[in-house]
């Protein structure tokens, strides 16, 4: 049988490749972005309670009502946005499913999607499967700020979607209010749909404010806003997220969702509803929790030859390794894993055209202190 691939540029993700290499060589894995510390005990207890109460069958396609209500209450509390529980919130099997659904709900063959590079690697394959063309606009290679003039210049009559991500993976950069105001101006009067990837929404540092698209009515009225319980509650393996969108967009989103996974793990939905409702301090204090890790890790990195870049949000630390090696980033992270026992993620797979000579790697600090300490001891020997 001759099979022509629908995703000719796609192989095994760099996250899988590097995690496998870490396992093979006994390396400290600071590559793939998952915590190695415990899920909140309250969440485990609530999951157990939900299963014992019989919440073990199919959930409603849009998500259990008690969770959608908790999410709606939280959006009003955090962002001042009143969201309709029945028509604007859909629970998904992770943020990646939500992103895929949003793209396939609105993008058609021959249309264009604007992507800001470096970009998370699940975006473009979804565009390609929809028959669309990704138009890449590079962020500043040092600060990862958006050049909005370049974004505006990239818009054509075929532009259907613009996707933004703040706090940003892989850099940790964040959009400010001025960025959102400029985005409003650019999109005003167009039919462009905004996809706002906000999975790190509560992991923000130094007193900064997360500028959710939900804060801005002109953006919220044309946006899919995507978030992730896995990032907020340290349970990435549960794969539960959600999308908030106005009724017309949500209706199209749900058409894709119901034939993709239909519904999401039911007992966990009840557990998250209880956590949001009864322990809001968890997400309210998440920034401080991770800022302590960030600050300690950065201080440790200053004792190595790696140069840490600023991290306004998220749980990744970019490091400039140019004082250590001239190797391209993919070769460098392989060398770092095999020869020095620490695994990082290269930046080039996040780009369509990586900046020439860029020598940056991504380290995850969502780890126990013992894990970070072990990594630092090895990195000091570089």
List, for residues 107-151, the tens digit of each pLDDT value. Answer: 999 999 999 999 998 999 999 999 999 999 999 999 999 999 999
Contact 196, 168 (CB under 8 A): no
Distance CA 270, CA 45 (A): 11
| Helix 266-278 with 65-79: angle, nearest 10 deg | 40
What is the pLDDT, as a whole number, of residue 32? 84
Domain layout of the chain by residue ranges: 14-39+284-379, 57-279
What is the pLDDT, as a whole number, of residue 9? 82
Strand bridging mode 223-228 / 193-197? parallel
What is the pLDDT, as a whole number, of residue 191? 97
Q: Which residues pair with 362 in a beta bridge?
A: 318, 345
Phi-psi region of 237 (alpha: psi -120 to 50; beta: other; left: phi over 0): alpha
What is the pLDDT, as a whole number, of residue 137? 98
What is the pLDDT, as a whole number, of residue 13? 85
Question: Which alpha helices (H) appear in the chain, and where do they start and end?
Answer: 14-25, 41-52, 65-79, 95-106, 123-129, 148-154, 177-187, 217-220, 229-232, 247-260, 266-278, 281-284, 286-301, 329-340, 369-379
Q: What is the pLDDT along the chain (382 residues), one digit of tens a residue?
A: 888 898 888 877 888 899 999 999 999 999 988 899 999 999 999 999 999 999 999 999 999 999 999 999 999 999 999 999 999 999 999 999 999 999 999 999 999 999 999 999 899 999 999 999 999 999 999 999 999 999 999 999 999 999 999 999 999 999 999 999 999 999 999 999 999 999 999 999 999 999 999 999 999 999 999 999 999 999 999 999 999 999 999 999 999 999 999 999 999 999 999 999 999 999 999 999 999 999 999 999 999 999 999 999 999 999 999 999 999 999 999 999 999 999 999 999 999 999 999 999 999 999 999 999 999 999 999 9
Contact 262, 255 (CB under 8 A): no
Contact 18, 337 (CB under 8 A): yes
DSSP state of 353: S
Residues 6+ apart with CB under 8 A from 373: 300
Fold classification of 14-39+284-379 is: 3.90.1150
Q: What angle do CA 361, 365, 367 make, to 5 degrees?
A: 135
From the candidate CATH numbers 3.40.47.10, 3.30.420.10, 3.90.220.20, 3.40.640.10, the one assigned to the domain spanning 57-279: 3.40.640.10
Furthest C-alpha separation in the chain: 58
Neighbour tally for 186: CB within 10 Å: 15
DSSP state of 214: G
Distance CA 8, CA 6 (A): 6
* Chain centroid to CA 228: 8
Closest CA to 250 of 28, 113, 72, 52: 72
What is the pLDDT, as a whole number, of residue 12? 79
- Rounded to the nearest 5°, which phi and psi values hold at 258? -70, -20
HSE, side-chain direction, 13 A CA sphere, residue 42? 12
Contact 244, 66 (CB under 8 A): no
Return the structure tokens found at 97. Answer: 């499913």
Q: Which residues pair with 313 in a beta bridge?
A: 204
Distance CA 327, CA 338 (A): 14
């Amino acid at each position: 049988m001759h099979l022509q691939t629908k995703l000719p540029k796609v192989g095994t993700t760099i996250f899988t490749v590097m995690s496998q290499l870490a396992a093979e060589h006994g390396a400290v894995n600071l590559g793939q972005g998952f915590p190695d510390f415990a899920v909140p005990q309250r969440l485990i207890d609530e999951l157990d309670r939900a299963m014992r109460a019989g919440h073990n069958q199919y959930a409603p396609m849009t998500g259990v009502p008690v969770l959608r209500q908790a999410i709606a209450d939280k959006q009003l509390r955090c962002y001042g946005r009143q969201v309709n529980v029945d028509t604007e919130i859909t629970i998904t099997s992770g943020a990646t499913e939500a992103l895929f659904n949003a793209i396939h709900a609105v993008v058609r063959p021959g249309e264009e999607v604007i992507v800001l590079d470096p970009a998370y690697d699940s975006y473009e394959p979804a565009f390609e499967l929809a028959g669309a063309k990704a138009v890449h606009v590079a962020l500043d290679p040092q600060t990862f700020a958006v050049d909005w003039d370049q974004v505006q210049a990239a818009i054509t009559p075929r532009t259907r979607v613009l996707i933004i991500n703040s706090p940003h993976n892989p850099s940790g950069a964040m959009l400010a209010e001025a960025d959102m105001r400029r985005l409003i101006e650019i999109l005003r009067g167009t039919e462009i749909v905004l996809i706002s990837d906000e999975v790190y929404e509560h992991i923000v540092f130094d007193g900064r404010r997360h500028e959710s698209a939900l804060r801005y009515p002109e953006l919220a009225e044309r946006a899919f806003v995507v978030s992730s319980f896995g990032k907020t509650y340290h349970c990435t393996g549960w794969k539960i997220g959600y999308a908030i969108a106005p009724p017309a967009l949500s209706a199209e989103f749900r058409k894709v969702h119901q034939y993709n996974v239909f519904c999401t793990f039911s007992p966990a939905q009840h557990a998250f509803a209880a956590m949001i409702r009864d322990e809001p301090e968890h997400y309210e204090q998440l920034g401080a929790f991770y800022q302590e890790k960030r600050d300690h890790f950065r201080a440790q990195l200053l004792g190595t030859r790696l140069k840490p870049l600023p991290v306004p949000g998220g749980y990744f630390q970019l490091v400039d390794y140019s004082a250590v090696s001239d190797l391209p980033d993919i070769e460098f992270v392989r060398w770092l894993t095999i020869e020095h026992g620490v695994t990082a993620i290269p930046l080039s797979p996040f780009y369509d055209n990586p900046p020439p000579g860029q020598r940056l790697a991504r380290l995850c600090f969502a780890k126990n202190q013992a894990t970070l300490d072990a990594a630092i001891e090895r990195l000091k020997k570089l």
